């Protein structure tokens, strides 16, 4: 009997606790709705100072900006948090930048997100405080805008046990920066830039280029190249992008030069697009005929962003690379302007001005390598020469897979593949020519049969041309003997 009052008092205690908890939750929601964020945060901070118990937590504030100055780490934090969002977050914001392919999903203001790093528990909270008001009658608009920026504050709070402060500051925060860069690079939409019309009239670097998203789908998987060549190019690119400290140590500009040479239709442009998609580098299509002088060439170089591919196509057709240094044009004011020169181009590639930027790939293409000045071809300017040859059978296997989906089922079309292999060894045909034939039909047998007929026709044309040449040679010798 004596235990009954104790049981009742305990039950009453739990009931009272439940009522108080419910009232506290209701009171907190009312306060949240009625009191502005800025005032509520101020009250909470004062209450924390009155706490008689020692606090083992430490909080880091990451504000969006300091007045008009943007905080780069805030953007990195937002990008990083978008990659670790969990279903426990009740409210999210969805954003998309023009330069990115994917959507960004971030936590909305007032929401919490938990993270873990090397055994450390971390809590993120998002805040946005505003003090919206109308400008006074005698207040300048620019002054009001400046004050409004300062009064509208977005920030993140990062809370964790204070014993982990050193590791969080020295390891976790740098990890956020590096991870956010990787995320942005993964989501980046590759752009292709071309010189703006009449760019020489512009006095600033902004606006020198016009750009669009490069939708070229080429990749190393779809390139009609021998597998060994593709693997060699990818390894070379990988080595280049990870050797920043090496280039710095040896005192060289962080750039890499490629010369792609071979007959038209062998895939030089497709290889450039595959390189850009592989590295996620923007492409700058530099048309030298649009550049009036060496001075403009230097301006162009400075305006090109880091992590980019600079392309000069058909370098052998770009005017006279051995221009007379005394040759000049008149600008719009009637003043003499020195035209760009070979020495200016070489300085662009390998001189002092080539160091005005990092992580750049320079690509020259040509159909006739022997027409180029040897000064353009030496190592340090064009580091890697890649011969884009006529179609081989291994490259044809790639085309058959791309256009007809023939990979594991090649044995079903063995007769056609055997005929194609025999003919490819006898005639010179470009990947572009064969690709055009493969596009004519979705039926594999019909399409492969068309390729066989096309190669047979090419073979007959080659034989006829050889016979005609031999005939003319014999006639010529006959005339000499007579």
Q: Which two tokens stand for residue 113?
A: 């997100």
Tally Cβ neighbours within 10 Å of residue 413.
18
- Report the C-alpha gap between 343 and 85 in whole angstroms: 54
Say whether 383 sits in a helix, a strand or coil: coil
Question: Could you tell me if 117 and 134 are in contact, meaning their C-beta atoms sit under 8 angstroms apart?
Answer: no
| Confidence label for 475 from pLDDT (cuts 50, 70 and 90) | low
Cα dihedral value 137, 143, 144, 148, nearest 10? -170
Does 2 score more than 50 pLDDT?
A: no
pLDDT on residue 302: 82
pLDDT on residue 171: 94
Tokens 């976790």, residue?
172
The mean pLDDT value of the chain amounts to 78
Structure-model confidence comparison of residues 206 and 280, the more confident one: 280
Q: Which two tokens stand for residue 403?
A: 């256009």
Structure-model confidence comparison of residues 236 and 381, the more confident one: 236
The predicted-structure confidence for 58-117, as pLDDT tens digits, reads as follows 899 888 876 656 788 888 888 888 888 777 776 776 766 655 556 667 777 778 888 999
Does 14 score more than 80 pLDDT?
A: no
- Report the C-alpha gap between 418 and 420 in whole angstroms: 5
Tally Cβ neighbours within 10 Å of residue 375.
15
* Distant-in-sequence, close-in-space partners of 47: CB < 8 Å, separation ≥ 6: none
User: What stretches of 196-247 adopt beta strand conformation (E)?
Assistant: 209-213
Q: What are the two backbone dihedrals, phi and then psi, of residue 281, each rounded to the nearest 5 degrees?
A: -100, 140
Determine the average pLDDT of the residues in 319-324.
48
pLDDT on residue 347: 74
Tokens 């159909």, residue?
367
Determine the average pLDDT of the residues in 156-180.
92
Structure-model confidence comparison of residues 41 and 406, the more confident one: 406
Residues 169, 170, 172, 178, CA torsion sign: positive
Between strands 255-261 and 384-387, the pairing is parallel
| Confidence label for 462 from pLDDT (cuts 50, 70 and 90) | confident
What are the Cα distances from residue 164, in Å, to 65, 97, 117, 157?
26, 35, 11, 16
* Whole-structure pTM value: 0.66
Q: Which two tokens stand for residue 191?
A: 């752009």
| Confidence label for 7 from pLDDT (cuts 50, 70 and 90) | very low
pLDDT on residue 95: 65
Residues 16, 17, 18, 21, CA torsion sign: positive
Chain centroid to CA 258: how far?
Answer: 19
pLDDT on residue 386: 95
pLDDT on residue 98: 58
Does 146 score more than 60 pLDDT?
A: no
The predicted-structure confidence for 119-137, as pLDDT tens digits, reads as follows 999 999 888 776 555 555 5
- Report the C-alpha gap between 266 and 386 in whole angstroms: 12
Q: Which two tokens stand for residue 276?
A: 């850009």
Determine the average pLDDT of the residues in 141-148.
48
What are the Cα distances from residue 439, in Å, to 117, 394, 402, 451, 481?
52, 19, 10, 10, 53
Say whether 351 sits in a helix, a strand or coil: coil
- Report the C-alpha gap between 172 and 170 in whole angstroms: 6
pLDDT on residue 288: 82
Question: Could you tell me if 430 and 390 are in contact, meaning their C-beta atoms sit under 8 angstroms apart?
Answer: yes
User: What stretches of 287-436 adopt beta strand conformation (E)?
Assistant: 308-312, 328-330, 336-338, 360-366, 384-387
| Confidence label for 204 from pLDDT (cuts 50, 70 and 90) | very low
pLDDT on residue 338: 53
| Confidence label for 465 from pLDDT (cuts 50, 70 and 90) | confident
Does 433 score more than 90 pLDDT?
A: yes
Chain centroid to CA 294: how far?
Answer: 29
Does 420 score more than 50 pLDDT?
A: yes
Q: What are the two backbone dihedrals, phi and then psi, of residue 142, each rounded to the nearest 5 degrees?
A: -65, -35
pLDDT on residue 23: 65
pLDDT on residue 261: 94
Task: Measure the CA angle with vertex 374, ends 296 and 376; round to 5°.
Answer: 30
With a pLDDT cut of 90, the percent of the chain lying above it is: 32
Does 248 score more than 60 pLDDT?
A: yes
The predicted-structure confidence for 268-316, as pLDDT tens digits, reads as follows 999 999 999 999 999 999 888 777 777 888 888 888 888 999 999 988 7
pLDDT on residue 46: 54
Residues 227, 228, 230, 231, CA torsion sign: positive
The predicted-structure confidence for 348-401, as pLDDT tens digits, reads as follows 777 676 677 789 999 999 998 888 888 888 877 888 999 999 999 999 999 999
Superfamily of domain 191-383: P-loop containing nucleotide triphosphate hydrolases (3.40.50.300)
User: What stretches of 144-301 adopt beta strand conformation (E)?
Assistant: 153-161, 191-195, 209-213, 255-261, 282-285
| Confidence label for 148 from pLDDT (cuts 50, 70 and 90) | very low
| Confidence label for 4 from pLDDT (cuts 50, 70 and 90) | very low
Say whether 307 sits in a helix, a strand or coil: coil
Domain positions in the chain are: 38-187, 191-383, 393-481
pLDDT on residue 268: 94
DSSP string computed for 98-138: TTBSS-EEEEPTT-EEEEEETTEEEEEEEEEE----PPPTT
């Amino acid at each position: 009997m004596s235990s009954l009052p104790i049981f009742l008092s305990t039950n009453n205690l739990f009931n009272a606790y439940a009522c108080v908890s419910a009232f506290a939750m209701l009171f907190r929601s009312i306060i949240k709705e009625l009191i502005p964020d800025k005032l509520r945060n101020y009250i909470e901070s004062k209450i924390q100072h009155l706490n008689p118990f020692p606090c083992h937590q430490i909080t880091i504030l990451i504000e969006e900006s300091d007045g008009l100055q943007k905080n780069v780490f805030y953007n990195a934090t937002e990008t990083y948090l978008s990659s670790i969002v969990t279903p426990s977050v009740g409210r999210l914001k969805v954003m998309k930048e023009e330069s990115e392919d994917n959507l960004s999903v971030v936590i909305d203001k007032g929401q919490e997100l938990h993270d873990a790093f090397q055994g450390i528990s971390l809590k993120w909270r998002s805040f946005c405080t505003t003090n919206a008001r109308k400008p006074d009658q005698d207040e300048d608009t620019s002054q009001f805008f400046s004050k409004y920026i300062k009064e509208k504050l977005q920030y993140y709070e990062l809370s964790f046990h204070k014993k982990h402060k050193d590791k969080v500051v020295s390891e976790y925060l740098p990890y956020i920066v590096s991870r956010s860069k990787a995320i942005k690079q993964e989501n980046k939409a590759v752009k292709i830039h071309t010189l703006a019309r009449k760019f020489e009239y512009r006095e600033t670097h902004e606006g020198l280029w016009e750009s669009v998203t490069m939708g070229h789908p080429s990749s190393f998987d779809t390139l009609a190249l021998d597998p060994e060549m593709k693997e060699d190019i990818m390894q070379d690119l990988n080595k280049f992008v990870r050797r920043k400290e090496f280039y710095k140590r040896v005192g060289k500009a962080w750039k890499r030069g490629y010369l792609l040479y071979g007959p038209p239709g062998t895939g030089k442009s497709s290889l450039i697009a595959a390189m850009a998609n592989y590295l996620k580098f923007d492409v700058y299509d530099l048309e030298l005929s649009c550049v009036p002088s060496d001075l403009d060439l230097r301006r162009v170089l400075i305006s090109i962003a880091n992590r980019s591919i600079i392309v000069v196509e058909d370098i052998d057709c770009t005017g006279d690379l051995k221009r007379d240094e005394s040759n000049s044009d008149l600008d719009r004011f009637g003043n003499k302007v020195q035209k760009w020169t070979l020495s200016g181009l070489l300085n662009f590639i390998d001189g002092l001005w080539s160091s005005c930027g990092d992580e750049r790939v320079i690509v020259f293409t040509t159909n006739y390598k022997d027409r180029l000045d040897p000064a353009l071809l030496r190592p340090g300017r064009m580091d890697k020469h890649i011969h884009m040859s006529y179609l081989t059978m291994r490259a044809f296997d790639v085309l058959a897979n791309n256009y007809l989906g023939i990979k594991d089922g090649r044995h079903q079309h063995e007769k056609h593949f055997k005929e194609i292999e025999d003919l490819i060894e006898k005639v010179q045909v470009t990947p572009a020519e064969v690709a055009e034939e493969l596009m004519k039909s979705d039926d594999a047998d019909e399409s492969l049969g068309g390729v066989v007929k096309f190669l047979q026709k090419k073979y007959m044309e080659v034989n006829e041309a050889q016979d005609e040449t031999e005939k003319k040679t014999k006639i010529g010798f006959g005339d000499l003997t007579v």
